[in-house]
Each structure stands twice: as structure tokens, then as C-alpha cells.
């Protein structure tokens, strides 16, 4: 199950933070590291700070865009110190997040996404996520190093996994509630946007209607089966539109 949990670092500036992240991951049984457009990797400083976790670095995947790192994931959680303009479901406590991660990791890959050291994740990158999580800290000084944030969330995930494993009972989630992959969500959003254009529902080129509807479906968290039903409904509507 832990192999289905992916740590994604976006445009990490200091290679030492990549190494420290690998060490934080390995101590909690996580080995799946994806780097989105890092400034410098591989790097001797990353290897040095990884200590005994050089194997995590050696198997790390490097991609150019965040979409490439999470398209097959059934849940994508962005670590953010504050909410942005897109109202995603938000975990106020890391332990609540960890329980959801362990449940969803039974069915497919789950990604925990961490942004740049100074500026975090952009709004566009948060739009690639299905959820956000914050780490409660001192309101007068809530600044965490990147690898420290990874360590905290990785610990909570490992604890949630260990507690479930110790119970000798693994809850089997019904197939009907299996969450869709990020790629399936994108296909639905594109289908919805195309139908709104073809039907004349959207008439202004800069209207935010499409973005607001996408946010609505993100908050609703439809299952894979429900998303398939919605796409079938869109196809049925589309078939009755006059040819343009």
C-alpha cells in the first residue's frame, strides 16, 4: 500500500532539500519520489543529505510538468500554508488527511504535492490537486523547511497505515466509491467545457462559469462510477445538439 503513495516536489531550488526529503520518506517506508522540473538534479548535495536513502534518489522520476506526475492518481493533495482562490476540499489536520490517503491508496496511486521553498504552489498547480492540507503551527512563526513538511505528513501517513495494519482488518471500499484518476477528471472537465460551448451555454469568452463548475465537481468528489455516469449523460446531451 505504501508503494502507492507518491511524494511530488515541484521546482525544488536547493538540491539538499531533495536529499533530506528522500531521507524523511525512507524513515516512514515511502520510496516513490517524483521531481517536477528541479533546478539541479542529480547533485552531490542531494546524495549527501539523503544519508542512507540514496536508493530513493536513484529511483526518483523527473518530469517537466505537475500534470505528468499526478495524471494516474486517484487523489492529489497539495500541501499549502494557506487557501488560494480555488475552494478545494481542505484537511485542517494531517491525521485526517493520512486516513484518507491510506484508504484511497488501496485502489490507486495517491500523491502528496509540495511546492517551491519560497513561494509554494501556484494557483494553477493547486488546480491539479483534489484536496489541500495544512500543517498547524505557531501563528507567529509557521515557517517549515520543505523536508520538515514532508517528514510530518509522511509520519502521519505511516502512522495511519500502521494502525490499520495492526488491526488485522483492512476495510474493503466498495468499487462504486473508488475515486477517479486525475486523468479521468480532466477528460470529464474537457467534455463538460466542450458541451457548454457547443450548446451556447457559455457565450462570453472570459466567463468564469466553466471554472466554477469544475470547482463544484471537485468539491463533490464523484466516484469513478459516478463520473462515468456523468460523462454518459453529457454524451447523450451532445448527441441531440444540431451539427455546427
The CATH number covering residue 56 comes to: 3.40.1280.10
pLDDT per residue as tens digits for the range 179-233:
999 999 999 999 998 888 888 888 776 668 888 888 898 888 899 999 999 999 9
Domain hosting residue 231, numbered range? 175-239
pLDDT at 211: 83
In a domain, 9, yes or no: yes
Q: Which of 143, 166, 189 is the last residue of a domain?
A: 166
pLDDT at 165: 64
**What's the predicted TM-score (pTM) here?**
0.79
Residue 70 inside a domain? The answer is yes
pLDDT at 172 over 70: no
Q: Are residues 156 and 191 in the same domain?
A: no
* pLDDT higher at 177 or 173: 177
Residue 10 within a domain: yes
Rounded to an integer, the average pLDDT of 88-105 is 94
Q: Who's near 17: CB < 8 A, 6+ residues apart?
A: 9, 49, 117, 145, 146, 147
Domain contains 244: no
Which residues share a beta bridge with 100? Answer: none
Domain final residue pick, 118, 136, 166: 166
Q: Are residues 204 and 157 in the same domain?
A: no
Last residue of a domain, one of 130, 146, 166: 166
Looking at the domain assignment, is residue 143 inside a domain? yes
Cα(79)–Cα(73) distance, rounded to whole angstroms?
16
How many domains does the chain contain in total? 2
* Dihedral-angle region of residue 29 (phi above 0 means left; psi in -120 to 50 means alpha; beta otherwise): left
Amino acid at each position: 500500500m505504501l508503494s502507492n503513495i507518491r511524494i511530488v516536489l515541484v521546482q525544488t531550488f536547493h538540491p539538499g532539500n531533495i536529499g533530506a526529503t528522500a531521507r524523511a520518506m525512507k524513515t516512514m517506508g515511502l520510496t516513490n519520489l517524483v521531481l517536477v522540473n528541479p533546478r539541479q538534479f542529480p547533485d552531490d548535495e542531494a546524495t549527501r543529505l539523503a544519508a542512507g536513502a540514496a536508493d530513493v534518489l536513484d529511483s526518483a522520476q523527473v518530469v517537466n510538468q505537475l500534470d505528468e506526475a499526478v495524471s494516474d492518481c486517484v487523489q492529489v493533495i497539495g500541501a499549502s500554508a494557506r487557501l488560494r482562490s480555488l475552494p478545494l476540499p481542505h484537511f485542517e489536520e494531517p491525521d485526517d488527511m493520512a486516513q484518507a490517503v491510506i484508504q484511497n491508496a488501496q485502489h490507486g496511486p495517491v500523491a502528496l504535492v509540495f511546492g517551491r521553498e519560497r513561494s509554494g504552489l501556484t494557483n494553477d498547480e493547486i488546480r491539479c490537486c483534489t484536496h489541500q492540507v495544512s500543517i498547524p503551527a505557531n501563528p507567529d512563526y509557521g515557517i517549515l523547511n520543505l523536508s520538515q513538511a514532508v517528514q510530518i505528513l509522511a509520519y502521519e501517513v505511516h502512522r495511519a497505515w500502521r494502525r490499520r495494519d495492526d488491526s488485522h482488518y483492512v476495510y474493503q471500499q466498495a468499487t462504486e466509491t473508488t475515486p477517479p484518476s486525475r486523468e479521468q477528471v480532466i477528460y470529464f472537465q474537457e467534455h463538460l467545457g466542450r458541451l457548454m460551448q457547443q450548446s451556447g451555454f457559455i457565450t462570453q469568452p472570459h466567463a468564469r462559469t466553466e471554472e466554477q463548475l469544475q470547482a463544484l465537481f471537485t468539491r463533490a468528489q464523484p466516484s469513478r462510477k459516478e463520473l462515468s455516469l456523468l460523462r454518459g449523460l453529457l454524451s447523450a446531451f451532445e448527441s441531440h445538439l444540431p451539427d455546427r
